[in-house]
Structure 1
Amino acid sequence: MAQPYRTAYHFQPPKNWINDPNGPMIYKGIYHLFYQYNPESAEWGNISWGHSTSTDLVNWTIHPPALLPSDTYDINGCWSGSATILQDGTPAILYTGGNSQKVQLQNLALPKDPSDPYLVEWVKSPHNPIMIPNEDEKESFRDPTTAWLGPDGIWRVVIGNERENRGTAVLYKSEDFIRWTEAERPLHSSSETTMWECPDFFPVLVDGENGLDISEIFSGIKHVLKNSVARSFVDYYTVGAYEHHNDVYTPDEGSVDNESGLRLDYGRYYASKSFFDSEKKRRIFIAWVNESTSKEIDLIKGWSGLQSFPRKIWLDKGGKQLVQWPVEEIEMLRTNKVDLQNITLEAGSKREICGVTATQADVEISFSIPIAVLEQAEVLESNWTNPQEIANQSGSLANTGVGPFGLLVLASNNIEEYTAIFFRIFKKNDKFVVLMGCDQKRSSVGLEYDKTNYGAFLDIDPLTEKLSLRTLIDHSIVESFGGGGKACITTRAYPTLAINDNAHIFVFNNGSQHVDISTLSAWSLNQAHIN
């Protein structure tokens, strides 16, 4: 069958089901991506660790599954986990296995031949399982993080958990990476959430964009705790302080410790996993982006799920949130650059970006809003506190004040189909508030699926800063980065008109005031070599 929704540069195996990224790492100059994988079907089940490698995070070579359910401690599935580079340079995998009673157990695997940079074969430890849950937590004990080594020479790792109706990061310690004991107290927990999956814990520089090895501890760093909340399918994080003497993490004052706080992505983006790229001194995040369509459609397609394009992350200069940006290697795919400058988008207008492949594109725009225009912004009502609800109310079609303006992507010629990524600017007291939104209500005229609109408040002052948008388009996935990566929204779209050569990209302004485009650059993106 025709496959208009398979991607050109986002990772996905040739067929079947994938979900969480697992154990990403760099080893002997080779990037490794493991992932939850069903070798037999396009629906969840038979969960194994798929394995692919890359030299550039763009082009990927597939290998046989690294881990398959085969033993009593993982016969029900080799579930999510992480990779850790041990002190002697050997990589180790910690992963959750499900036994025949669906009890969640933590296990260890090591490479059969550490001299092989591709790490094709892995051997499960004879000591498995190495961590066993409490009696009342048998099905809420999963997804070990990358382990870190304390100044005392003892390894630490966090397991996702729910304890006494609190999302909990359970802490375990080990001297030899084989015998683990639970610490006296969790690393952190929150009464405002329930089950935490796929936790991630790592240091970030207070000043600078370089990444840090997970075991780095010195003045001038903060720590980030990211959790995937099972009840809401949301990845949120806090920034705070890790007291390594007593192994307690405390979010900074004012942090929101639930899903309404800071998110890595305000769209379809879950079970994210980061790793430290020791060669380029950066921290990189990858996440599962699932399908919006039904299981029946997935089975017809023969595949389900893909991975987000890898993102470099660092702490914003204000020290309160992360910034994310596609890794620079994506630029090797760029071709056919189109440049536009100093364009005024009048109220109610749109303009096509011609000359790029609309289904495989990278678009960067910088908007400039004159002060006189900003003064016409709509007042933000005091009860408008949820950005997603605001984005849902009228989406990209509201025409009061400043915006919505932005991009229409995967759009049909007559705009019957499109996915909109937009900004709206509001006044609140003597300041301006920027809403970033994604409107997918008209993303497909021929298929019914979850077309929820997404929204986020963007920490940008349009009086003093240019308002920027970068969007990656790849057939059925759209990843957008607002304000230089301060807010990100990922969505899936399955157009039935705007496919292949019938897709278009437009800049648009549906507001009642004009806005200016300072610069616009767009590129077609070549097909990556994946599998």
Structure 2
Amino acid sequence: MPALPNDHHAPHFHVRSVDGYVNDPNGPVHYRGVFHLYFQQVFDTPRTGPVHWGHATSSDLVTWTLHRPALTPSPGTPDEGGCWSGNTVPADDRLYAFYSAFDPANPFQPVRRAESADGFEFTGSVPMVDPPDASESPVQFRDPFVWWHHGRWCMIVGAGLAGDDADGGALGQARLYESSDLTRWSYVGPFASRRRTGEGTDHDTGMMWECPQYAALGEWGVLLVGAWDSHQGITHVLAISGRDQADRLADPGPAVRADQGPNFYAPSVMRDPSGRVLVWGWVTEGRETVASVEADWSGMLTLPRVLTVTGAGEPRWHPPAELAALRDGAVGCVEGPLEDGSSVDVVDVVDVPAQFELDLALTASGTDRDATRVRLVTSGADGAGEPEHLDLLVDWRAGTVAVDRDLASRDPRSHRGTFTITDAVAAAGDEDAEETGAQGRASVRFRLLVDGSVGELFAADQTLTFRFYPQSPPPWTLRVTPGAGGPVDGRVTVWRLRRSVR
């Protein structure tokens, strides 16, 4: 794993199939003492074949074993075009998979259910629910999510309804159905809906909602949806919080991005045996399709992340404690104070692998200072002698942590951009200060896990998922420049991370 063993862009601890195309995670579940993780898989990167459900299992959420596909299309049936997004639920000593049967000519993908005795093979596919009536002006319908909710089984399905002059723009919707037996379903009504806003922006709510997922957290509920557009296709994942009720998400708040990066989509939710809500996503490519076809692989799943809410119901994201088991020894550490104007290599150039974790915790005397930069520098240089590099920037004044990948690759097929986590700088050591700044000390803490060509950044209870493709293979150099404005104290540690998917 993957198809090209010498490809330094390939992941070692993110789940994906051995080769071909991977996208949406589907139905993670803890069943009979084992974590099962399913995902959409096409056997060739140009995607000439139908979608199957790939399959991996784990006992600890870290080490994963790949298996043959668990759900396969059946010729001559409604799912012969592919078994697309959905989820799984255990009931009556069986595991049930709910999914969309793909037909390229039908915008209303039939919702179907298959079942398994062991979680390794699903069979017996049968139809479940019908699309919206034509009187509602539906334009899209797909992606079931089933869960036990307020004493009965519930299913939400993503949909989009056309707007008109009276109603305004298109309507993204999660439609609610209920059942007592996972077989006969009745339509209840919209679980949540929102007219499209922010069209074409980073906060576009989409013309339809796909891959809807839901988690009840105490009195609060969090709905995750993929904002989809008929021209642009996938955009980003939105989180909408409200009061958890039996038939709807009540008093919904603003739609906020679930991930601040450009390469996170198609969330998939499970509740683990301890009650935590875990979420996986699809790590999109961040490069042109021709580059993925040339590499003969595309896509992977994110690491699991823990979803919680604040007392006001605002979603928060955290790395699960289990990820520490990926560490295979610290390869370097720099401890402050780092002096104004200095530049310090965390480890020697021979020691930074393509799989590593960066753990940074820094404190400054205040925020009226220049940015602190952590730069990942490759060993290669372009014609002008400038090496490829990825920058992480702590902007003390703005209170942000940013990822700048504009110069991370000399390959013009690799995507560029700068992406930001806000509210990342906190007040430290001055309880009387009214705000972060020169009145008191300021601190920042983040963790970055890099796996070949993917980075997952955790900071200030937020996440940022991005891809980058340096042409020069490791070893790389990690360099810290504190910036002008006085010394920066703290610690920067780099850990080597092990291969964990086989």
Give the alignment's TM-score, normalised by structure 2.
0.84
Q: CA deviation at 1:459?
A: 5.5
> Residues 307 and 452 (structure 1 numbering): CA distance in 2 closer, same or farther, change over 3 Å?
same
Matches within 5 A, 1:2-13: 2-13=6-17
Does the Cα contact within 8 Å between 2:388 and 2:470 map onto a contact in 1?
yes
Report whether the alignment pairs 1:469 with 2:477: no
Matches within 5 A, 1:95-106: 95-99=99-103, 101-102=105-106, 103-106=108-111
Does the Cα contact within 8 Å between 1:353 and 1:507 map onto a contact in 2?
no
Give the alignment's TM-score, normalised by structure 1.
0.80
Q: Provide the residue aligned with 2:494 in structure 1.
A: 522
Q: CA deviation at 1:327?
A: 4.4
Q: CA deviation at 1:337?
A: 4.9
- SS of 1:178's equivalent in the other structure is coil
Matches within 5 A, 1:64-463: 64-70=68-74, 71-86=76-91, 88-99=92-103, 101-102=105-106, 103-111=108-116, 114=117, 116=118, 119-125=119-125, 127-135=126-134, 140-151=140-151, 154-163=152-161, 164=163, 165-183=170-188, 185-191=189-195, 192=197, 193=205, 194-204=207-217, 220-231=218-229, 233-244=235-246, 247-251=247-251, 255-257=253-255, 261-278=256-273, 280-316=274-310, 319-347=313-341, 349-354=343-348, 356-371=351-366, 374=367, 376=368, 401-403=369-371, 405-409=372-376, 411-412=378-379, 416-426=387-397, 433-458=398-423, 460-462=425-427, 463=436
Amino acid at match of 1:466: S
Q: Provide the residue aligned with 1:62 in structure 2.
A: 66
Amino acid at match of 2:499: Q
Q: CA deviation at 1:100?
A: 6.6
Partners of 2:377 and 2:322 in 1: how far apart?
Answer: 24
Amino acid at match of 2:160: E
CA distances 1:255-314 after superposition (whole Å, capped 9, x unpaired): 323xxx242343311111111111x43221111111122222212211100111122222
Aligned pairs, number:
458
Q: CA deviation at 1:345?
A: 4.5
Unmatched segments (≥5 aa) in structure 1: 205-219, 377-400, 427-432
> Residues 333 and 348 (structure 1 numbering): CA distance in 2 closer, same or farther, change over 3 Å?
closer
The share of aligned pairs that are identical, in percent, is 23
> Residues 264 and 295 (structure 1 numbering): CA distance in 2 closer, same or farther, change over 3 Å?
closer
Q: CA deviation at 1:476?
A: 0.7
Amino acid at match of 1:424: D
Which 10-residue stretch deviates more, 262-271 or 165-174?
262-271
> Residues 45 and 348 (structure 1 numbering): CA distance in 2 closer, same or farther, change over 3 Å?
farther
Partners of 1:308 and 1:44 in 2: how far apart?
Answer: 24
Q: CA deviation at 1:133?
A: 4.2
CA distances 1:307-358 after superposition (whole Å, capped 9, x unpaired): 1112222224664231221442442433135333223242473533347433
Q: Provide the residue aligned with 1:37 in structure 2.
A: 41
Does the Cα contact within 8 Å between 1:105 and 1:133 map onto a contact in 2?
no
Partners of 1:411 and 1:303 in 2: how far apart?
Answer: 23
Does the Cα contact within 8 Å between 2:260 and 2:421 map onto a contact in 1?
no
- SS of 1:296's equivalent in the other structure is helix
Which 10-residue stretch deviates more, 142-151 or 341-350?
341-350
> Residues 46 and 330 (structure 1 numbering): CA distance in 2 closer, same or farther, change over 3 Å?
farther
Partners of 1:301 and 1:506 in 2: how far apart?
Answer: 30
Q: Provide the residue aligned with 2:468 in structure 1.
A: 493
Does the Cα contact within 8 Å between 1:5 and 1:476 map onto a contact in 2?
yes
- SS of 1:343's equivalent in the other structure is coil
Report whether the alignment pairs 1:481 with 2:490: no
Q: CA deviation at 1:448?
A: 2.9
Q: Provide the residue aligned with 2:54 in structure 1.
A: 50
Amino acid at match of 1:324: H
Does the Cα contact within 8 Å between 1:38 and 1:47 map onto a contact in 2?
yes
Unmatched segments (≥5 aa) in structure 2: 164-169, 198-204, 428-435
- SS of 1:190's equivalent in the other structure is strand
Amino acid at match of 1:362: E
- SS of 2:399's equivalent in the other structure is strand
CA RMSD of aligned residues (A): 2.4
Amino acid at match of 1:359: A
Q: Provide the residue aligned with 1:505 in structure 2.
A: 478
Partners of 2:93 and 2:276 in 1: how far apart?
Answer: 19
